Chain A
Amino acid sequence: MGNLIGPENLKFAPNLETIVCVALCLVLAIFMIIVGAIARHADPTKRPKGILLVADWAVEKLDGFVEENMGEGFENFGGILLGIILFVFSNFIIGITGLPTPMAYLPVPLSLGLVTFLLIHFTAIRYNHWKYFKRYVEPFPFFLPINLLSMWAPLLSLSLRLFGNALVGWVLLTLVNWGLGNASAAIFGAGLGFGTQGELFFVPIATPLLHAYFDVFSSFIQSLVFVFLTTLFVAQEKPEVDVEKETKLTSRKEAN
């Protein structure tokens, strides 16, 4: 066994998934900057047109979604949610072009899950301060190891959901392509004399449906589910306001 830490192990050799993921991030960032510049220079008295209309609609919908699902105190959450939606959707749907899906490469969904995980815990610390650490010793201090283990459940469930969906879609498509290619090659290539082009006949019949389900539909639903779960996990960290105490305080104020 050689030296694990050395210059020969620090070479920067990204695989295709990483390149696709970074390229998509760059494209999205440039697109966002352009839309932001257009929005900044637009005349607010005129009605929006073109890309600005779409952006306006998306921001309005997302703000409504945040207000409906998270309540007060989270008004500025629309931005990160839009970023997560666009990242998940674009990284999932790129499989339709034949490039490798970055979501089927575990570090990508795992880092996305880590972002949500940090968001959940920072929100909890922001609202509960020192009471945040109380959750690890509830109901008794004896539960500390169990609570420390269950702390990681949201991270694993969020990232493995994306990873599993993308990987299963990729594996099924590869299997169907391989099997139909072989069947078609046996019938057309050897039997009817089409040669090596014989394997192209059956595959286009079956793959559009599978692509439609595993790439288009799945990416749409999974990005929606990811954002929905993020809002739920983050919003439940805000402590419930004690209604009785609140009304007592206000009634006392009114009496004074």
Chain B
Amino acid sequence: MTDIGAIALAAAIAIFSSGCSSLGEAMLITKAIDGMARNPEAGKNLRSSMIIGAALVETCGIYALLVAILLIFVLPGSIVH
């Protein structure tokens, strides 16, 4: 395997964490909508908590994207042949 191929594979594995975080976000939003449907009066509180929670969960996916971007753009330049 060449160096570039190994880096591409590493970036793809890093992005896997982003998919996991999107799964968690989907679960969060499902539960929040369940709660809103059951108790529409609490919808306002639930919505603001849900948005803050979604931003917190999304951070994990953004870390993964950051790692992938660094792997793709920074690592090839730092390999000395």
- Is residue A179 contacting chain B, with contact meaning CB distance below 8 A? no
- Is residue B10 contacting chain A, with contact meaning CB distance below 8 A? no
- Is residue A160 contacting chain B, with contact meaning CB distance below 8 A? yes
Cα distance, A165 to B52, chains bound together (Å) = 14
Q: Chain B contacts of A221 at CB under 8 A?
A: 51-52, 55
Identity of the chain B residue whose Cβ is nearest the Cβ of A162 in the assembled complex: B59
Q: List 12 A-B contacts (CB under 8 A).
A: A157-B59, A161-B62, A164-B59, A164-B66, A165-B59, A165-B62, A167-B69, A168-B65, A168-B69, A221-B51, A224-B52, A228-B52
Which residues of A24-49 are within 8 A (CB) of B? Answer: none
Q: Chain B contacts of A164 at CB under 8 A?
A: 59, 62-63, 65-66
Min distance, Cβ B60 to any Cβ of chain A, angstroms: 10
Cα distance, A222 to B69, chains bound together (Å) = 21
Interface size on B, residues (CB 8 A): 10
Q: Which range contains the number of A residues in contact with the other chain?
A: 10 to 19
Cα distance, A168 to B66, chains bound together (Å) = 7
Q: Chain B contacts of A225 at CB under 8 A?
A: 52, 55-56
Identity of the chain B residue whose Cβ is nearest the Cβ of A224 in the assembled complex: B52
> Which residues of B are in contact with A by a Cβ distance under 8 Å?
51-52, 55-56, 59, 62-63, 65-66, 69
Residues 82-109 of A, flagged 1 when their CB comes within 8 A of B and 0 if not, give 0000000000000000000000000000
- Is residue A151 contacting chain B, with contact meaning CB distance below 8 A? no
- Given contacts A157-B59, A168-B62, A221-B55, list 14 more A-B pairs with CB under 8 A: A160-B63, A164-B59, A164-B62, A164-B63, A164-B66, A165-B59, A165-B62, A168-B66, A168-B69, A171-B69, A221-B51, A222-B55, A225-B55, A225-B56
Cα distance, A228 to B49, chains bound together (Å) = 11
Q: Chain B contacts of A161 at CB under 8 A?
A: 59, 62
Min distance, Cβ B13 to any Cβ of chain A, angstroms: 18
Q: Chain B contacts of A224 at CB under 8 A?
A: 52, 55
Cα distance, A161 to B28, chains bound together (Å) = 19
Q: Chain A contacts of B69 at CB under 8 A?
A: 167-168, 171
Min distance, Cβ A62 to any Cβ of chain B, angstroms: 15
Q: Chain A contacts of B66 at CB under 8 A?
A: 164, 167-168
Min distance, Cβ B28 to any Cβ of chain A, angstroms: 14
Cα distance, A116 to B52, chains bound together (Å) = 19
